[in-house]
Structure 1
């Protein structure tokens, strides 16, 4: 459904900047008869703060990797629209606080740690002058290889493995360590998963939808489950992601359903921790990633607030991820319509959330 933001009909406003990732959500809305609007915030625009935001529910799918698609202003545009909507009392899903978590792995890791969840040992470096000294300090603590990451990441941005400080110094001297968009580089201990996979836990409104396993041997550090991430946009060939040990094979899926997640020892506590973290961050829809190390540690390292879903996993999962999101947003939209009707009948509606 495409419409002008001035339309009076309450809808789900799906705010994002990458149509390639939106197809499954559009299908879920249409199947349920939920009115929605794709509100693309890509190359700038105007927000008239003197006008009320269009009625409905605002759902942000802002992606931390938006700048890699030429949408350098999408972050500020999204911040403005979400602040405008929230100030007017509109129901906002994954609002400003979620956006701040999406664009800062420091925020994610600090909040995970605050709730008692183990994370990889990490140093955040602002600028470039202290990178080498910080790498020496991290290796002195961990005694092993480390990764670089971009604080505002996504798609494996800036992720590279270094086995020692000497290799990192050489890369810095050669200009092979890319500068993050926000100027913050993470240096993080490299912990290989014991079984070669990571687990991504999908949650909607605090409920577990399902968990998926991702193959790091073939998928490396870029484990975006959306179909659009798997192929070279020019050639259509499977991509060799950064950090992959073996090239993906045509027809091979990097993702599989972990049907038993939540039943094994310790997973209930892990889920409880994730729910607490997401509640503090104001995140209602997320995919949270962790790995199990050979030493038994379960390390959580990423919170995705614009979570995508893999078609092959969706085909065998007990419930649909995009369907769960559409059901949640549809229920919120019905509640907003009812609240508006009560207000028009002369009874003061509850305060905006």
Structure 2
């Protein structure tokens, strides 16, 4: 029987989707791709294949999940199966360098960024950036891993020489222009089927952990702003009547890169200019924010997958 196959490596991030699939009485099967075997001479089953592999898989001791998934996707693509977020999406998921090049190709502004391989070159890259404040981050990351804010190269030097320094899993560190927003928040733009669903305002006053999934939780070492929150407030807030013109650029970018499901994060500077800095093709949603707004990303995703499955049966 044809069904929806979910390619993933994290049960906690998949439960909300399977609940919606069951609610809609849609047949599905989970493929946990942390490890396994793949017979390249066999043929895949019929169905819809949705790739949810995350760049942060190595933080859950699933170091080679992206590589194994790339092999599985190549196999599926060879047999012309219907794939949601195929190999191109995976390539962008695990590399911010690839993200930025694709965004720039689409005419979308990203922060000025210099890459460095080798600890001794990170300091040189910061000097090349020639900016007072800057951010370091990992090329393959997720959940804010490796993101630090520095106001001087001397502070960076101290970090590099400390036990707190985090080595990137792929060896590539990004040194990036710090965009100072008038208020401490970013906006994450959610898309299903390549179409805009909603924008969620994310409070950054307590650090760089911006993953909206209920299961996400890491300790932040540095904060992106010196402004302290004055009153308790929700970290995630779905925005009403929100659709800036950049959403049209994002939808075109997703079409050009064959990405159906994504969360795209951007920040605005004091002049109101958007800087896009992350494309998350394994997007998650915050249940509290959605309940308050009455809109549900996983439900929309389940409906989308169900629609693809129905079309495949005709």
Q: TM-score, with normalisation over the residues of structure 1?
A: 0.84
Deviation of the 1:206 alpha carbon: 2.1
Task: Kindly provide the CA deviation profile for residues 101-153 of structure 1, in whole angstroms up to 9, marking residues without a partner as x.
Answer: 00010111112122222211111113333222111010x2xx32111100001
Tell me the residue number matched to 1:315. Answer: 291
Is 1:150 matched up with 2:138?
yes
Task: Kindly provide the CA deviation profile for residues 30-51 of structure 1, in whole angstroms up to 9, marking residues without a partner as x.
Answer: 1111111111111x21001111
Is 1:194 matched up with 2:182?
yes
Is 1:221 matched up with 2:221?
no
Tell me the residue number matched to 2:196. Answer: 208
Q: Return the match for 1:256 from 225, 234, 237.
A: 237
Query: Distance between the aligned counterparts of 1:327 and 1:247, measured in 2?
Result: 40
Tell me the residue number matched to 1:180. Answer: 168
Tell me the residue number matched to 1:341. Answer: none
Tell me the residue number matched to 2:13. Answer: 21
Query: Distance between the aligned counterparts of 1:241 and 1:248, measured in 2?
Result: 17
The alpha-carbon distance between structure 1 residues 241 and 200, as it changes in their structure 2 partners (threshold 3 A), is farther
The alpha-carbon distance between structure 1 residues 56 and 248, as it changes in their structure 2 partners (threshold 3 A), is farther
Q: TM-score, with normalisation over the residues of structure 2?
A: 0.94
Is 1:10 matched up with 2:29?
no
Q: Helix, strand or coil: the match of 2:189?
A: strand
Tell me the residue number matched to 2:71. Answer: 80
Deviation of the 1:316 alpha carbon: 3.0
Aligned-residue Cα RMSD (Å) equals 2.0
Deviation of the 1:176 alpha carbon: 3.7
Query: Distance between the aligned counterparts of 2:221 and 2:302, measured in 1?
Result: 31
Moved more, 154-163 or 186-195: 186-195
Is 1:162 matched up with 2:154?
no
Deviation of the 1:280 alpha carbon: 2.3
Alignment coverage as a number of residue pairs: 312
Alignment of 1:41-52 (within 5 A): 41-42=33-34, 44-52=35-43
Gaps (5+ residues) in structure 1?
1-8, 233-238, 339-353
Tell me the residue number matched to 1:94. Answer: 85
Q: Is the 8 A contact 1:240 1:247 kept in 2?
A: no
Deviation of the 1:200 alpha carbon: 0.5
- Point out the structure with max Rg over C-alpha: 1
Deviation of the 1:298 alpha carbon: 1.2
Query: Distance between the aligned counterparts of 1:212 and 1:161, measured in 2?
Result: 23
Deviation of the 1:240 alpha carbon: 5.0
